Amino acid sequence: MHLVLEVDDPDSTMTAEARSDMIDRVDRIIRTRIDQFGVEEPLIQKVGGDRLIVELAGIDDEDRAKGIIQESAFLEFNKVLPTAEFDQALSRIDRSIVATLGVDSRPALGRDVVDESDARENLLFGTDSSAVQNDAAADSAEAADEPVDAIEDALRPFSSLLFTGDVEGTYFVAAEDRPIAEQFLAMEEVQRAFPRDQKLRWGADLLAQGARNYYRLYVLEEDAFLTGEELEDATAQRDPQFNQSQVQFELSRAGGRRFARFSGANVGNYLAIVLDNEVMSAPVIRDRIGARGQIEMGQGTPLEEARDLALVLRAGALPVRINIVEERTVGPSLGQDSIDQGTIAGMVGIGMVVVIMITYYGAAGFLAVGALGVYVLLVLGGLAGLNATLTVPGIAGLILSIGMAVDANVLIFERIREELDHGRATRTAVEEGFEHALSAIVDANITTLITALILFQFGTGPVRGFAVTLSIGIVASFFSALFVTRSFFLAYLSGKKASDPISI
Amino acid sequence: MRLFKDASYKFIEKRRTAYVVSAIVIATGIAAMGYNIVSLGSWQNYGVDFLGGSLVQVRFDQPTSDAELREALGGATAPPITQFGGEGTGEFVIRAPLDESVSITQVADNVETQIRANLTDRTFEVVRRELVGAKVGGELQQKALLAVLFSFLLTLIYLAFRFELRFGLAAVIATAHDILITLGFLAIFRVEIALPTVAAILTILGYSLNDTIVVFDRIRENMRMKGARKRDPVDLVNQSINETLPRTVLTSGTTLAVLCALLVLGGAVIRDFTIVLMLGVVIGTYSSIFVASPALIEIQKRWGMGQSASEKKKARPQPATV
């Protein structure tokens, strides 16, 4: 799995320096997380000043690994405030929406107002839903008793989405209304109409009430009295009684003191545990709490998820949100297929080279094949040493370098043949052949190496793989042609007299 | 066994025919690029790597047709779907374009959820995901271009230093010729341009350069021989090409043999890639003989470059250097 991560900064508000600094911090935290996750030899590398490449090999569950990398894991503890405190702000918020978007605010955001008020009617009076829906289809805006509601809703675009919640400090919002509510809340004008020291946060769980689903919207104190930074340890557990996964955490001493002070002063109030801006749970404070607490994961959540959360909490929160800007995953089966096919094709290819070389050059061909064998060992050793994984471009690099390794031998042998044609003695011809072929081999290899190095500089991911295998291949082919073939040749000649014929 | 021993073909004399052939091939390629701009909106069929977007490859465990999959992904609004590795494999590649409002990972996840929700009686495996953000795609395009230009420049400098400037120029002309033909071929057949394609183009660049340098090395050597100065440059270049011909044929043949093995046995993932490489080997061999060497002669004729200072001092009448 190959991931490229970037700091989430859509409006480019951060300076390049700040982004670079952020990525350094993200780098450290992700490293810790991956270590704890238990991936062997991960490659984590900062590139271009503000990006992070994460390469993980041999992962079974890639989604899980991605979750662990990407999860911000920003934990906050906030006091839940009674909705009464927020209600006064609601009319201000409604007015600001109407002032900005007009009375047709919801259609303006792509929602049909009429349809919606129908649905609400449905819920409040328990009418048969299919009948009302049919009405709606037949343009129910003309129905006598509905325009009033529609107008009222149009004047209260936001507050008409809210229902009284089940716990103190919460509203209910129908699941299908959540997107539009989020859009309202994201508006700058709405943010300005917010009461000071208060904020709204969504609950993580979807609640079924009757036929519809709702999300809780919590009213929270703006500033968290405690954050995940004060966390010392976190472990996942299963609560057998409720069949619930939970993460138990332990706070540092300072954090524990602050927690105890807060809980002591707020007995009877609710406390929200907020993870990445979502309220995980909001238990009532029954007593002064010390340095321990727990995060409920909701019913039916697998224990694994709780484990992952505990892991990221231990490793620490990411200082910013990060985006995956590039992802390349090859499933284990395709990877294995490609490797199998590539291996077979490669072996057949090398077999053909062997046949051609031996047919064409006789005994000298054997020497070249021996040198190619050394070349293959060198390349495999080099690849293993650099911990490189073979990709399609990587195979391309190898083919080019095998071609060059063969080419070097061919250049030398052709040259030896020419020298023999000129009537030189065997040993002299071999010496001259190596000598004269040298300049062509050097120049060809160096120009290709230049290309490979440029590619390494400019390329990312797969192209870099190409550059790496090509560079390794060139160095290996250079060495094998000039030194290995030569040594083999000298060994071959050692039993012969200077004028004995050779098989080439 | 020995092929092309003592060959003495008159390659350079045939150069005008070669120019016409090259010009026709290149013109066809450029016409195809123009046609692509009009009909596709882009001169090449850029893939996810360069445009950005999400590629998801799935393999169904049960027989599944592409029509069913298209239906599951929204019918008319479905992203482009192509069968992978031939009919009946149950393997498909889905290419979802960039969507500004959602992240690339979200797009890919949506594709998977949609298949799961609408084809409930099937099970499938996601065998490949390639997701590239818009910015990254643009940067990759730019970097690939820069890489090719830089390697041209450095090769030119190296060859000018090791040989003479005109050798460098001729080599760059030959390499540019090969890349143009390859790009034309890609445009004609609308081969998807992905990162492996760029690697293939660069391999061709390396291979063609290698071939050219071997011929040039021999020309350089023959130029240093006794009496070379008095020889006809065309004759000298011809001799050099003929002397290296056995090597050229053997090396190209061997490389093509390896590529054939890869084409037949290497599997669907690298098929396109192998075809581009085979084409490149043929063009690279052709160009080192019919483009690079004639270019050397033309440069010499037109600008008379490559005379060393000492030669100029001697001011011989019409020095027949190459």
DSSP one-letter string for A392-427: HHHHHHHHHHHHHHHHHHHHHHHHHHHHHHTT--HH
| List of chain B residues whose C-beta atoms are within 8 Å of the C-beta of residue A449 | none
Pairing of strands A75-79, A162-164: unpaired
With CB atoms and an 8 Å threshold, state whether A458 touches B146. Answer: yes
Chain A CA closest to residue B105: A324
CATH of the domain at A414: 1.20.1640.10
Q: Rounded distance, CA B103 to CA B47, Å? A: 18
Nearest to B147 among A66, A410, A458 (CB): A458
The two domains B12-40+137-307 and B53-132 share their CATH topology (first three levels equal): no
Closest CA in chain B for residue A413: B247
- Judge if ipTM > 0.85: no
Burial of A114 (0-12, 13-18, 19+ CB in 10 A): buried
Supply A451's token pair: 């290309």
Examine residue A199 and state whether it is found in any structural domain, yes or no.
yes
pLDDT digits over B232-282, tens only?
Answer: 889 999 999 999 999 999 999 998 988 898 888 887 777 888 888 899 999
**Counting beta carbons within 10 angstroms of the beta carbon of residue A41, is it exposed (0 to 12), middle (13 to 18) or buried (19 or more)?**
exposed
Q: Which residues contact A349 (CB under 8 A, 6 or more apart)?
A: A399, A402, B257, B258, B259, B261, B262
Closest CA to A115 of A159, A146, A148, A158: A146
Q: How far is A437 from chain B (nearest CA, A)?
A: 9
Q: Which of B265, B278, B288 to mutate to test the interface with A (most CBs of A within 10 A)?
A: B265
Contacts of B39 (CB under 8 A, 6+ apart): none
One pLDDT digit (tens) per residue for chain A, 504 residues = 888 998 887 777 888 888 888 888 889 888 888 888 877 778 888 887 888 988 887 777 778 888 888 888 888 889 999 888 888 888 888 888 888 877 666 655 555 444 444 444 434 433 343 433 444 444 444 444 445 566 667 778 888 888 888 878 889 998 888 888 888 888 888 888 888 888 899 988 888 877 888 899 999 998 888 888 888 888 888 877 777 788 888 888 888 888 888 888 888 888 888 888 888 888 888 777 777 777 777 667 778 878 888 888 888 888 788 888 888 887 766 667 777 787 788 788 888 989 999 999 999 999 999 998 898 899 888 888 876 666 666 776 777 778 788 889 999 999 999 999 998 888 889 999 999 999 999 998 998 888 888 878 877 666 777 788 889 989 998 899 889 999 998 898 888 877 778 888
Looking up tokens 């080439």 gives A504
Q: Do B203 and A411 make contact, defined as CB atoms within 8 angstroms?
A: no
Query: Are residues B130 and A66, on separate chains, in Cβ contact within 8 Å?
Result: no
Q: B-chain residues within 8 Å CB-CB of A341?
A: 265-267, 269
Q: Do A37 and A63 reside in the same domain of the chain?
A: yes
Q: How many CB pairs lie under 8 A apart between chains A and B?
A: 216
* Partner-chain residue, chosen from B125, B147, B260, that has the shortest CB–CB distance to A333: B125
Q: B210: which chain A residues are within 8 Å (Cβ-Cβ)?
A: 403-404, 407, 444, 447-448
Angle CA A190–A192–A195, to nearest 5: 95
Beta bridge partners of B56: B94, B129
Smallest CA–CA distance, residue A463 to chain B, in Å, is 6
Q: Are the C-beta atoms of A78 and A30 separated by less than 8 Å?
A: no
On whether residue A278 sits in a domain, the answer given is no
Contacts of A393 (CB under 8 A, 6+ apart): A462, A463, A465, A466, B195, B196, B198, B199
Q: Please indicate, yes or no, whether residues A383 and A412 belong to a single structural domain of this protein.
A: yes
- pLDDT interval class at B318 (50, 70, 90): low
Please tell me the distance in Å from A352's CA to the nearest CA on chain B.
7
- CA–chain centroid gap for A6, Å, is 10
Please list every residue in chain A whose beta carbon sits closer than 8 Å to the beta carbon of residue B130: 327-329
Distance linking the first and last C-alpha atoms of chain A: 48
Q: What is the token pair recorded at A136?
A: 């709606």
CA A245, A251, A255, A259 torsion-angle sign: positive
- In this structure, which amino acid lies at residue A251? L
CATH of domain B12-40+137-307: 1.20.1640.10
Across the interface, of B154, B244, B250, the residue whose CB is closest to A450 is: B154
Which run of H or E residues covers position A226?
strand A226-227
Query: Do A24 and A43 lie in a common domain?
Result: yes
Minimum-distance CB partner of B207 among A348, A403, A466: A403
DSSP structure class, residue A481: I
A60 chain-B contacts, CB cut-off 8 A = none
Q: What's the token pair of residue A78? A: 């906030």
Closest Cβ–Cβ partner in A397, A403, A440 for B213: A440
CB contact under 8 A, A349 and B261: yes
- Helix, strand, coil % (nearest 5) of chain B? 70, 10, 25
Regarding whether A159 and A66 lie in a shared domain, the answer is no
SS3 state of residue A358:
helix
Q: Verify whether the Cβ–Cβ distance A462 to B196 is below 8 Å.
A: yes
DSSP-derived 3-state class of residue A338: helix
Contacts (Cβ under 8 Å, ≥6 apart) of B322 = B219, B223, B228, B233, B236, B237, B296, B297, B300, B306
User: Could you tell me what percentage of chain A is helix, strand and coil, using 3-state DSSP and rounding each to the nearest 5?
Assistant: 55, 20, 25
Tell me how far apart the alpha carbons of residues B44 and B92 are, in angstroms, rounded to a whole number.
22
Query: For residue A399, which of B171, B202, B292, B180 has the smallest C-alpha distance?
Result: B202
Nearest to B128 among A330, A341, A407 (CB): A330
**Position A227 in a domain:** no
- Indicate if A193 and A212 belong to the same structural domain: yes
- Say yes or no for a CB contact (<8 Å) between A331 and B126: yes
Domain count across chain A = 3
Q: Which residues does chain B have within 8 Å of residue A470's beta carbon, measured at their own beta carbons? A: 206
End-to-end Cα separation, chain B, in angstroms: 33
Cβ partners under 8 Å of residue A265, min gap 6: none
Instruction: Kindly list the residues from chain B whose CB atom is less than 8 angstroms away from the CB atom of residue A450.
Output: 151, 154-155, 158
Give the orientation angle of helix A392-421 with respect to helix A426-458, to 10 degrees: 160
pLDDT recorded at residue A145: 47
* A18 and A93 inside one domain: no
The rounded distance, in Å, linking the Cα atoms of A478 and A484 is 10
Q: Which residue of B lies nearest to A341 if distances are taken between CA atoms?
A: B266
> Does one domain contain both A348 and A471?
yes
C-alpha distance from B108 to closest chain A C-alpha (Å): 10
The residues, ordered by sequence, that sit 6+ positions from A74 with a Cβ below 8 Å of its Cβ are A227, A228, A275, A276, A277, A317, A318
Contact indicator for A338, B196 with CB cutoff of 8 Å: no
Radius of gyration of chain A (CA): 35
Decide if B243 and A417 are in contact by the 8 Å CB cutoff.
no
What SS3 state is found at A50? coil
Give pLDDT, residue A140: 40
Q: What is the C-alpha to C-alpha distance for residues B75 and A320, in angstroms, rounded to an integer? A: 39
Helix or strand (DSSP H, E) at A445: helix A426-458
- Percent pLDDT > 70 in chain B is 94
Nearest-CA distance B136 → chain A (Å): 7
Question: Which chain B positions have a beta carbon within 8 Å of A12's beta carbon?
Answer: none
- Closest CB to A349 among B57, B199, B262: B262
For chain B, the domains span 12-40+137-307, 53-132
Residues of A in contact with B128 (CB under 8 A): 329-331, 334
- The A244-251 sheet, strands edge to edge: A231-239, A244-251, A292-299
A90 occurs within a structural domain: yes
Residue A441 located in a structural domain: yes
Going by DSSP bridges, is the β-strand pair A212-221/A226-227 parallel, antiparallel, or unpaired? unpaired
Considering only CA atoms, give the Rg of chain B: 25
Same-domain check for residues A31 and A87: no
Q: How far is A156 from chain B (nearest CA, A)?
A: 27
Q: How close, in Å, is residue B200 to chain A by CA atoms?
A: 7
Domain co-membership, A340 together with A481:
yes
The answer to whether A364 touches B250, Cβ cutoff 8 Å, is: no
The chain A residue lying nearest B217, using CA atoms, is: A440
The domain boundary, picked from A221, A240, A275, lies at: A221
For residue A456, list chain B residues with Cβ-Cβ distance below 8 A: none
* Alpha helices, H only, A176-225: 178-186, 188-193
b/e per residue, A448-478, with b = 16+ CB within 10 A?
bbbbbbbbbebbbbbbbbbbbbbbbbbbbbb
Q: Which of A73, A106, A124 is the last residue of a domain?
A: A73
Q: Which fold would CATH assign to domain B53-132?
A: Alpha-Beta Plaits (3.30.70)
- CATH code for position A42: 3.30.70.3400
The structure's pTM equals 0.72
Say which of A345, A357, A446 has its CB closest to residue B158: A446
User: Do A129 and A28 reside in the same domain of the chain?
Assistant: no
Nearest CA in chain A to B275: A396
Distance from B101 to chain A by nearest Cα, in Å?
Answer: 12
Q: Chain B: nearest CA to A373, how far in angstroms?
A: 16
The pLDDT of residue B33 is above 50: yes
Whether residues A474 and A341 fall in one domain = yes
**Other CB atoms within 10 Å distance of the CB of residue A92:** 14
DSSP run (H or E) holding B142: helix B134-162
In this structure, are A84 and A41 located in the same domain? no
What is the residue range of A346's domain? 332-494
CA distance A170 to A172: 7
Measure A487 CA to nearest chain B CA, in Å. 22
Q: What is the pLDDT of residue A126?
A: 38
